[in-house]
């Protein structure tokens, strides 16, 4: 059989098309966009012959003219060739290897198999981490004592973490440490302890949603403080402190997620002075602090001079999930002994104690942290450069925020909101967060790409982003000419956006 002339079964194509007609764009454009996604997602082979215009129109219960316009438009976009007498044939780029293993009919039912979900910056497995995970770990000697199920964590791990923090410039003893199930757990325990319905908490205006989510759920009020290119705006924070009695300020002052912003040392010191003077508790999220492309790890806020006078006003959250392995779910909280005791009690009534086995793994990770950090940062830094160099081809004139570390690339679009691009990208099989996922207004013009993506997926992501961008530009041009409807999210786009939050 001549492979290049394989006929696409109309029923199968109908399955692949799914709910293609939901949306306010003209039908032919909805059909064109969806067919283009199917081709770019590698669900049809190069040369495959699409059903005749009449046959597809009958299947989809639309006018033949709609299919004719869609096929013509696809030909204009270079996705098919149209030859009188031999029909409409797919012009596909070679399929990515992964897609070859996916039967197309299954992909039609389970769209996410071909949709690339980049909402969560999920670090990949590192050689050094895999190596440690493969080593046998003997639990037996540690199982006997009551300390094996201490709500504050395994004493050996707390000791190892305390040594690490001391080496990083913040003198710490094991009883300053509460082991948590990741930093989000630390944030939740703190909020449970300090927040009630009258409480006010300040965060950066655009930020990882962990604190806003947990404080909001308890009923407290979140205040978003404007940011400058060097971190939180201290004047705005000072004025907020005067107006509102804050329970705490929670910040991510280095390699900030999502913007990549880092506060210089001087400003960090000013920040600590400012909150200490106002007797406001300052919570530093250091989950990304070690992910510096240049290897320089900033001093913890709690180590600055003002903080040393009032350690009770400084809490530090940290975690191994971004640096080492997201599957581990081990982090910690550093505070005064009194605060750790209070949170230890709270922890005992929530999940009693952290599980033993992951703590042993964490112990091995902390012991080898320098090597893990080096491997991780080398990987993230090279991805950042790759994205920076390839971005202009996908979205001409987009601006990438300069970053010296972290897990994300923050991209400003030359026009259109990040929400509109994200919605369009979802129809091309790419789910990305936009500014509003991090608390920015709906018309914010940013999107975030994770640096945790692997190189081959990045290629696919950038291709889909390029298609989505072009399609958005074409729709905008159409509207400027008065020929089109306002863009809006169809049900598929909304489904893609309504799921988990970006992290």
**Residue 262 within binding range of ligand PLP, rule CB under 6 A:** no
| Residue whose CB is less far from ligand PLP, 71 or 332 | 332
Of the candidate residues 115, 262, 321, 419, the single one contacting ligand PLP (CB under 6 A) = 321
Give Cβ neighbours of residue 138 (< 8 Å, ≥ 6 apart).
none
Of the candidate residues 32, 89, 319, 377, the single one contacting ligand PLP (CB under 6 A) = 319
- Cα separation, 266 vs 305, in Å, equals 12
Tell me the helix, strand and coil percentages in the chain, rounded to 5: 50, 15, 35
The tokens describing 381, both together, are 């830094």
Q: How far apart are the first and last CA of the chain?
A: 49
**Residue 503 within binding range of ligand PLP, rule CB under 6 A:** yes
| Residue whose CB is less far from ligand PLP, 188 or 417 | 188
**Residue 451 within binding range of ligand PLP, rule CB under 6 A:** no
- Cα separation, 213 vs 207, in Å, equals 11
| Residue whose CB is less far from ligand PLP, 56 or 289 | 289
- Measuring CA to CA, how many Å separate 83 from each of 12, 50, 107? 23, 12, 29
Of the candidate residues 247, 257, 417, 431, the single one contacting ligand PLP (CB under 6 A) = 257
| Residue whose CB is less far from ligand PLP, 257 or 292 | 257
Residue 61: CB minimum distance to ligand PLP, A: 45
Binding mask 370-389 for ligand PLP (x = CB under 6 A): --------------------
Contact 333, 317 (CB under 8 A): yes
Residue 501: CB minimum distance to ligand PLP, A: 10
| Residue whose CB is less far from ligand PLP, 31 or 183 | 183
Of the candidate residues 114, 208, 248, 293, the single one contacting ligand PLP (CB under 6 A) = 208
- Cα separation, 59 vs 74, in Å, equals 19
- C-alpha dihedral, 404 to 457 to 424 to 63, nearest 10°: 170
Q: Give start and end residues of each alpha helix (H) in 351-490.
A: 356-367, 369-394, 418-427, 455-480
Binding mask 329-348 for ligand PLP (x = CB under 6 A): --x-----------------
Binding mask 268-307 for ligand PLP (x = CB under 6 A): -----------------x-xx-------------------
DSSP one-letter code for 293: T
- Measuring CA to CA, how many Å separate 198 from each of 194, 195, 247, 479? 11, 8, 10, 47
**Residue 51 within binding range of ligand PLP, rule CB under 6 A:** no
Contact 414, 99 (CB under 8 A): no
Q: Where are the beta strands (DSSP E) in 256-363?
A: 281-285, 314-319, 331-334
Binding mask 233-252 for ligand PLP (x = CB under 6 A): -------------------x
Kindly report the three-state secondary structure assignment for every residue of 93-143: CCCCHHHHCCCHHHHHHCHHHCCEECCCCCCCCCHHHHHHHHCCCCCHHHH
Q: Which stretch binds ligand PLP (CB under 6 A): 104-112, 176-184, 375-383, 481-489?
A: 176-184
Q: Which stretch binds ligand PLP (CB under 6 A): 180-188, 306-314, 337-345, 409-417?
A: 180-188
- Measuring CA to CA, how many Å separate 212 from each of 82, 203, 223, 322? 53, 8, 9, 20
| Residue whose CB is less far from ligand PLP, 89 or 257 | 257
| Residue whose CB is less far from ligand PLP, 25 or 285 | 285
The tokens describing 93, both together, are 């780029």
Number of residues that bind ligand PLP (CB under 6 A): 14
**Residue 183 within binding range of ligand PLP, rule CB under 6 A:** yes
Site of tokens 């690490």: 164
Of the candidate residues 42, 51, 182, 231, the single one contacting ligand PLP (CB under 6 A) = 182
Residue 354: CB minimum distance to ligand PLP, A: 13
CA angle centred on 345, ends 327 and 249, rounded to 5°:
70
The tokens describing 434, both together, are 């936009």
| Residue whose CB is less far from ligand PLP, 88 or 319 | 319
Indicate the SS3 state at residue 492: helix
Q: Which stretch binds ligand PLP (CB under 6 A): 179-187, 192-200, 368-376, 455-463?
A: 179-187
| Residue whose CB is less far from ligand PLP, 28 or 208 | 208
Measured N-to-C along each axis, helices 369-394 and 455-480 cross at an angle, to the nearest 10 degrees, of 30
| Residue whose CB is less far from ligand PLP, 104 or 129 | 129
Residue 281: CB minimum distance to ligand PLP, A: 17
| Residue whose CB is less far from ligand PLP, 333 or 426 | 333
Residues numbered 210 to 229 that lie near ligand PLP (CB under 6 A) are: 210
| Residue whose CB is less far from ligand PLP, 208 or 384 | 208
Of the candidate residues 32, 40, 66, 184, the single one contacting ligand PLP (CB under 6 A) = 184
List residues near ligand PLP by CB under 6 A. 182-184, 208, 210, 252, 257, 285, 287-288, 319, 321, 331, 503
């Amino acid at each position: 059989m001549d492979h290049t002339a394989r006929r696409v079964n109309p029923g199968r194509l109908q399955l692949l098309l799914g709910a293609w007609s939901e949306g306010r764009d003209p039908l032919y454009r909805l059909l064109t966009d969806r067919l283009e996604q199917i081709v770019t997602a590698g669900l049809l082979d190069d040369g495959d012959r699409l059903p005749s215009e009449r046959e597809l129109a009958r299947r989809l219960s639309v006018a033949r003219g709609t299919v004719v316009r869609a096929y013509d438009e696809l030909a204009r976009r270079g996705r098919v060739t149209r030859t009188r007498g031999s029909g409409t044939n797919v012009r596909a780029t070679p399929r990515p290897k992964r897609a070859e293993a996916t039967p197309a009919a299954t992909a039609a039912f389970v769209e996410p198999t071909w949709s690339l979900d980049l909402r969560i910056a999920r670090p990949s497995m590192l050689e050094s981490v895999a190596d440690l995970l493969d080593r046998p770990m003997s639990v037996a000697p540690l199982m006997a004592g009551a300390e094996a199920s201490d709500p504050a964590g395994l004493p050996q791990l707390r000791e190892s973490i305390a040594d690490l923090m001391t080496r990083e410039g913040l003198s710490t003893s094991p009883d300053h440490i509460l082991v948590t199930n990741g930093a989000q757990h630390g944030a939740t325990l703190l909020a449970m302890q300090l927040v009630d319905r009258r409480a006010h908490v300040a965060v950066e205006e655009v930020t990882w949603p962990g604190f806003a989510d947990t404080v909001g759920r308890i009923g407290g009020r979140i205040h978003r403080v404007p940011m400058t290119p060097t971190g939180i705006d201290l004047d705005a924070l000072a004025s907020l402190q005067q107006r509102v009695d804050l329970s705490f300020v929670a910040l991510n002052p280095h390699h900030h997620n999502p913007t990549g912003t880092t506060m210089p040392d001087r400003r960090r010191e000013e920040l600590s002075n400012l909150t200490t003077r106002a007797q406001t508790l300052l919570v530093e999220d250091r989950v990304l602090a070690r992910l510096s492309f240049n290897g320089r790890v900033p001093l913890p806020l709690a180590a600055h001079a003002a903080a040393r006078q009032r350690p009770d006003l400084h809490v530090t959250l940290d975690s191994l999930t971004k640096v080492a392995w997201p599957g581990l779910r081990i982090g910690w909280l550093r505070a005064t002994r009194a605060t750790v005791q209070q949170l230890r009690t709270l922890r005992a009534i929530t999940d009693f104690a952290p599980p033993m086995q992951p703590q042993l793994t964490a112990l091995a990770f902390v012991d080898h942290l320098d090597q893990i950090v080096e491997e991780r940062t080398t990987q993230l830094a090279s991805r950042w450069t790759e994205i920076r160099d390839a971005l202009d081809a996908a979205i001409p004139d987009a601006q990438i925020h300069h970053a010296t570390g972290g897990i994300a690339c923050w991209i400003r679009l030359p026009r259109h909101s990040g929400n509109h691009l994200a919605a369009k990208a979802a129809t091309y099989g790419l789910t990305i967060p936009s500014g509003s996922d991090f608390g920015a207004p709906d018309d914010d013009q940013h999107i975030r790409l994770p640096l945790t993506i692997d190189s081959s997926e990045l290629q696919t992501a950038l291709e889909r982003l390029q298609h989505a961008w072009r399609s958005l530009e074409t729709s905008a041009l159409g509207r400027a000419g008065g020929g089109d409807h306002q863009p809006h999210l169809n049900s598929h786009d909304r489904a893609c956006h309504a799921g988990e939050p970006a992290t």
